[in-house]
Amino acid sequence: MTTMPLSAQPDALSPTTVEKVAILDCGAQYTKVIDRRVRELNFYSEILPLSIPAEQLKDFAAVIISGGPNSVFAEDAPAFDPQILSLGIPVLGICYGMQLIAHTMGGTVQPGALKEFGEIAIGAKTGNPLFAGLPAQQVVLMSHGDKVAQLPPGFEPIAHSGDILAAMMHAEKRIYGVQFHPEVELTEHGQAILHNFLYQVAGLTGNYPLEDRLSQTLDEIRQTVGKKNVFVLVSGGVDSAVTAALLVKALPAEQVFALHVDTGFMRHEESDTVCNALRSIGLKHLEHLKAQAQFLDATTDIDGRVVGPLRQVTNPEAKRRIIGDTFFKLTQDAILAMNLNLDETFIAQGTLRPDLIESGNIGVSQIAHKIKTHHNDVPIIQAQREKGLIIEPNRDWHKDEVRKIGMMLGLPADLVQRQPFPGPGLAIRILCTEQPYITPQFETLNQAVNAEAGEIGLQGNVLPVQSVGVQGDYRSYSYLAVLSGAYRQDWEPLKATAIRIPNRLHDINRVALVLNQDKPLPAELRHITPTHLTEETTGLLRRIDHEVAEALRQSGHFAGISQLLTVLVPVSLTPGRHSIAIRAVVTSDYMTARPAKLGEELPWDVMTELANRITSQYPIDWVMVDLTSKPPATVEWE
Ligand code: XMP
């Protein structure tokens, strides 16, 4: 096999001995975040199974035992080698990790007594290395049902929340435990606590900075690839752009071949931005395939039936399928047309460290290298994987690190800071429809929404369109409610109304506020504008999307939003026109999200000025702002 090794070999590559931190895994969700935090503090980390024999940890400089969903009393509680606590290596147990230490070293853990979930205040003693330099009162995130009731011999308490022990230490043995999660953002001084553990308690120096890791990666690329060619598919996003930039830096320009497929559903100048940026840092062989017409005219086979062309399809899943299949086909054809000898050519992928942790391939399982199937995993790429001709130069980095590496490699800031953008792009932000969506409940729902909106002095409507949501464990495809009227007050009543409506009326999963006041909605709106994916609808949405992003960028509000998007909605006052919905969410994991606050994160003056500009310049009647959290609505509308 000629694939790059899974974990970098820091000792072999670095002239100094790299300080290694072991993260013992009790539950992958937390482990990934601890790993990111430790790496931000300039340490090399390895994620290892909790069951690892102590013997194998001897050359580690510190051990962190992660939190996890288990109770030490559960029959299937993850096992651990108690000798780890006698190695003389500093240990930090987090949550379950702390209970494991207490339980093993002769303390008492009380089951199920503590039901602290969420942010709570603790009082910490600050005269010890773990809390040194931090305020005594601080907010932390607790999330466990068990608590340490009695300390093991030699330990002393160093933080409390009421009568609950929040942290403990054995100063001499350098063994610490925290009942809360220092790795999460909601723990106010979490990163400082981890910093203290590694630098103060363990006395380490942090000798694995990103700069060194970048030069190691460039060396590895050279060693692995040798004189062979490398192909990379550049999507427009951050990860693949950084992969391409690494190849360009590491190898002679002659050896690097890139392809960018412009589906026609990209954002304003997105394709040109990424292609120009890569050319300007030295990428020579770059094929920029402009394929909008091919996508719009494409069909696909779904269950033996020909579906399409895309420009006539309204079903969101069918749209996704046609775009995905067409992307596969065009990519495959383009690679073949490049005449690369695929028995002698590497393919580079933008896989990140969290992707590998999720699929259990970093340390934890130590089995063959399997990775998640990617959107672009066309048969040619699968074949390269079989031949061991895949390289993943980003595989040692988390998202923020990839952005930093991108900057270090000379990619422009607006490219490396890009927000996530779905593969099907603007195609799933144009609600396509031929008929109004009207069920027998329409009229009653419309009245009920109007009554709810009336509680804050607004008009309420149900619109005859569907958008996607998540309600309970299920995806829903339900009505949109809109609020309209003269309203320029606090965010809180708007937010409360947007929560109340889908809670009370289950056929509604999304609530938006209309910003324009000059075109009131009729009491009941039953018509739609038949809408499809075309050059016109896509071009219209692309221009408006750019205008919205620019307005917020110029007002200084763009950076606080995790994802900002614009949706073309097929409703209007005058038949044949459309509306626009602005969706701005704040989230770190995209599993849940909250809407950006109107009047604060989305200032009223910026938003109303923008709405007036859009309705005066484009065939758009209403500009609305999505007020819904995820759940019950998703981030995207389709
Ligand atoms: P939802 O809409 O599920 O979105 O709340 C969560 C995140 O996933 C992105 N997303 C997609 N990405 N193909 C993608 O590559 C898709 O079909 C797709 N649908 C949603 C979305 O942009 C958000 O960041």
- 374 Cβ closer than 6 Å to some ligand 1 atom: no
The reported pLDDT for the residue numbered 470 is 87
- 630 Cβ closer than 6 Å to some ligand 1 atom: yes
Where does the pLDDT of residue 79 fall: very low under 50, low under 70, confident under 90, or very high at 90 and above?
confident
Torsion angle of the four alpha carbons 584, 589, 591, 597, in this order, in degrees rounded to the nearest 10 = -30
Kind of pairing between the strands at 508-514 and 578-586: unpaired
Atom of ligand 1 nearest to the CA of 320: 17
CB within 8 A of 344, min separation 6: which ones? 228, 229
Residue 364 has pLDDT above 50, yes or no: no
Say which range, 49-53, 74-78, 470-474, 517-521, has the weakest mean pLDDT.
470-474
Nearest CA to ligand 1 atom 19: 422
The reported pLDDT for the residue numbered 111 is 82
Q: Quote the mean pLDDT of the chain.
A: 91
Query: Up-side HSE of residue 19: CA atoms within 13 Å toward CB?
Result: 20
Nearest CA to ligand 1 atom 12: 422
Indicate if 26 belongs to the active site: no
Rounded to the nearest angstrom, the distance between the alpha carbon of 635 and the centre of ligand 1 is: 7
- 320 Cβ closer than 6 Å to some ligand 1 atom: yes
Nearest CA to ligand 1 atom 11: 422
Atom of ligand 1 nearest to the CA of 633: 5
- Catalytic member of 181, 260, 398, 578: 181
Residue 77 has pLDDT above 90, yes or no: no
Indicate if 95 belongs to the active site: yes
The reported pLDDT for the residue numbered 6 is 36
- 424 Cβ closer than 6 Å to some ligand 1 atom: yes
**Overall average pLDDT of the 130-143 stretch:** 93
Which of 194, 177, 174 shows the shortest CA–CA distance to 132?
A: 194
Where does the pLDDT of residue 205 fall: very low under 50, low under 70, confident under 90, or very high at 90 and above?
very high
Question: In this predicted model, which residue has the larger pLDDT, 636 or 26?
Answer: 636
The reported pLDDT for the residue numbered 116 is 54
Nearest CA to ligand 1 atom 10: 422
- 590 Cβ closer than 6 Å to some ligand 1 atom: yes
Say which range, 230-234, 256-260, 382-386, has the weakest mean pLDDT.
382-386
Q: Which of 430, 590, 591, 628 to mutate to test the pocket of ligand 1 (most atoms within 8 A of CB)?
A: 590
Nearest CA to ligand 1 atom 4: 635
The reported pLDDT for the residue numbered 110 is 87
Which of 357, 386, 384 shows the shortest CA–CA distance to 372?
A: 357
The reported pLDDT for the residue numbered 184 is 85
Output the CA angle 13-15-17, nearest 5 degrees.
90
- pLDDT tens-digit map of 407-426: 999 999 989 999 999 999 99
Say which range, 18-32, 575-589, 613-627, has the weakest mean pLDDT.
18-32
Sequential DSSP letters for 61-109: SEEEEPP-S--TTSTTPPP--GGGGGSS--EEEETHHHHHHHHHTT-EE
Rounded to the nearest angstrom, the distance between the alpha carbon of 302 and the centre of ligand 1 is: 22
Residue 14 has pLDDT above 80, yes or no: no
**Overall average pLDDT of the 118-133 stretch:** 93
Q: How many angstroms from the chain centroid is the CA of residue 449?
A: 33
Atom of ligand 1 nearest to the CA of 590: 6
Q: With pLDDT > 70 as the criterion, what percentage of the chain qualifies?
A: 92
Rounded to the nearest angstrom, the distance between the alpha carbon of 638 and the centre of ligand 1 is: 9
CB within 8 A of 94, min separation 6: which ones? 30, 34, 64, 65, 66, 67, 177, 178, 180, 181, 182, 183
Q: Sign of the C-alpha dihedral, residues 567, 573, 576, 577?
A: negative
Which of 375, 422, 428 shows the shortest CA–CA distance to 270?
A: 422
- Catalytic member of 26, 95, 275, 432: 95
Q: Which of 325, 426, 635 to mutate to test the pocket of ligand 1 (most atoms within 8 A of CB)?
A: 635
- Catalytic member of 183, 220, 392, 401: 183
User: Which three-class secondary structure state does DSSP give residue 339?
Assistant: coil
- 475 Cβ closer than 6 Å to some ligand 1 atom: no
Nearest CA to ligand 1 atom 22: 422
Where does the pLDDT of residue 588 fall: very low under 50, low under 70, confident under 90, or very high at 90 and above?
confident
Distances (CA, A) of 478 to 469, 496, 507: 7, 20, 6
**Overall average pLDDT of the 533-544 stretch:** 98
Nearest CA to ligand 1 atom 16: 422
Indicate if 181 belongs to the active site: yes
Where does the pLDDT of residue 72 fall: very low under 50, low under 70, confident under 90, or very high at 90 and above?
confident
- 636 Cβ closer than 6 Å to some ligand 1 atom: yes
Specify the DSSP element, H or E, that contains 167. strand 164-170
**Overall average pLDDT of the 576-588 stretch:** 95
C-alpha to C-alpha distance for 132 and 177, rounded to whole angstroms:
15
Residue 390 has pLDDT above 80, yes or no: yes
Residue 373 has pLDDT above 50, yes or no: no
